[in-house]
Amino acid sequence: MKVFIESNVLTWQKKGGVSRYVVELLKGLKSKVNISNITLFSRNIFYKKHKRGFIIPLRSRLAIRVNKFLIKRAIIKGEFDVLHIPSLEDYFIDVIRKDTVVVITIHDLISEHYPKEFGLDIKSRVANLLQRADRIIAISNQTKTDLFTIYDVPEDKIDVIYHGCSFTEEDVLKNNEPNQFGDYILYVGYRSGYKNFENFCKALPKVLKSFQDLKVVVVGGRKFAAYEKDIIKKASLAKNIIHLENVSEDKLITLYKHAKTFVFPSKYEGFGLPILEAFICGTPVVCSNIGPFSEVGGVAPLYFDPEKVSDISDAILAVMQSSKLQSEMVQRGYIQLNKFSWEQTINSTLKCYNIARQAASAKVF
């Protein structure tokens, strides 16, 4: 089977969950099918580690345009059995041949729940992709439910295929970097509206009353915007917050390993890879009680209502105040982690490809 993965995300995304997913597909499928992609330009940190060959380390509008042109040309030729579209890109939709078997991955439909934070063309883009797909991969049951309720996609056309954890036990064991920050709780990722960073900050003063020297290490995202600085100031957190914009994977593992707890306060997500990363690093997880987090976390995390500031505070305090609870949560995390692996993702994706080919063969053009 020849599979072509549309991989423009590797040009415009330096790091992030979708690009990691694409790289894991390329790595895992290469021994099972004839897998190919076109990514001439990339500064993506995951692809850089995987790719053997010539890549131009450029991330610009011109690079994106050139990559799109090359990918469209390959799609027009159609020299593959399956076209896998792993992100919400549709610049090529008008050149896909009628007989092309198309599988798309929908990571989330956050844009439907928080439209003000996303471009106005997202809805039409999703609709275009869904209409053309022979098979759809959703990365959680929450995403599947959204596809069914918002876009009326038949449930039997959707495969729920979870992600795995890209950190390995070997990565964690060989990481012996010392703790630089003393006692701290960890926040990882972007901080836009649905990420609920504001409520997270509002919850911290109550925690700091009991743990005055506690630091809050915030990883990722750009420098704090003016409104974020205002939130931090109002919560009297300036002396406690440490922001690290860009960290390596080794550094991130170090930060997970030494954290008292990892806090994930989002109001909506498609999956929750950082939960698995925390599990493998032996870090207790405190997170929102949203559907995808429950799917990923099982009984391992301590959950809170992301809309209630006091609920977030109480959950963090419960973990901070009990070494016994911390130990129990870590052990439950290790057990839960066994349910997720990229190997399972790859095998399930292969099954999806075959079902898509069968569905396409039954179509009348």
CB neighbourhood size of 363 (10 A): 10
Q: How sure is the predictor about 121, in pLDDT bands with cuts at 50, 70 and 90? A: low
Which region among 108-122, 317-331, 348-362 has the lowest average model confidence (pLDDT)?
A: 108-122
Please report, for residues 61, 139, 142, 295, the alpha-carbon distance to residue 163 in angstroms, rounded to integers and kept in the order given: 30, 7, 14, 11
In this predicted structure, the answer to whether residue 365 has a pLDDT above a threshold of 60 is no
Per-residue model confidence (pLDDT) at position 180: 94
Of 118 and 195, more confident: 195
Domain with CATH 3.40.50.2000 in the chain: 2-164+342-361, 169-337
- Is 232:339 a contact under the CB 8 Å cutoff? no
Q: In angstroms, rounded to a whole number, what is the distance separating the alpha carbons of residues 151 and 45?
A: 34
Q: In angstroms, rounded to a whole number, what is the distance separating the alpha carbons of residues 219 and 245?
A: 6
Per-residue model confidence (pLDDT) at position 281: 98
Token couple for 271: 């999956």
In this predicted structure, the answer to whether residue 120 has a pLDDT above a threshold of 70 is no
Please report, for residues 9, 26, 104, 197, 266, the alpha-carbon distance to residue 89 in angstroms, rounded to integers and kept in the order given: 8, 18, 10, 28, 24
Token couple for 241: 């917050």
Q: In angstroms, rounded to a whole number, what is the distance separating the alpha carbons of residues 212 and 150?
A: 46
Per-residue model confidence (pLDDT) at position 119: 61
CATH number belonging to domain 2-164+342-361 = 3.40.50.2000
How many CA atoms lie less than 13 Å away from 250 in the CB half-sphere?
A: 5
Chain segment 286-296, per-residue pLDDT in tens: 999 999 999 99
CATH number belonging to domain 169-337 = 3.40.50.2000
Where do we find the tokens 């690093």?
281
Q: How sure is the predictor about 114, in pLDDT bands with cuts at 50, 70 and 90? A: confident
Chain segment 160-175, per-residue pLDDT in tens: 999 999 999 999 999 9
Per-residue model confidence (pLDDT) at position 159: 98
Chain segment 213-231, per-residue pLDDT in tens: 999 999 999 999 999 999 9
In this predicted structure, the answer to whether residue 126 has a pLDDT above a threshold of 70 is yes
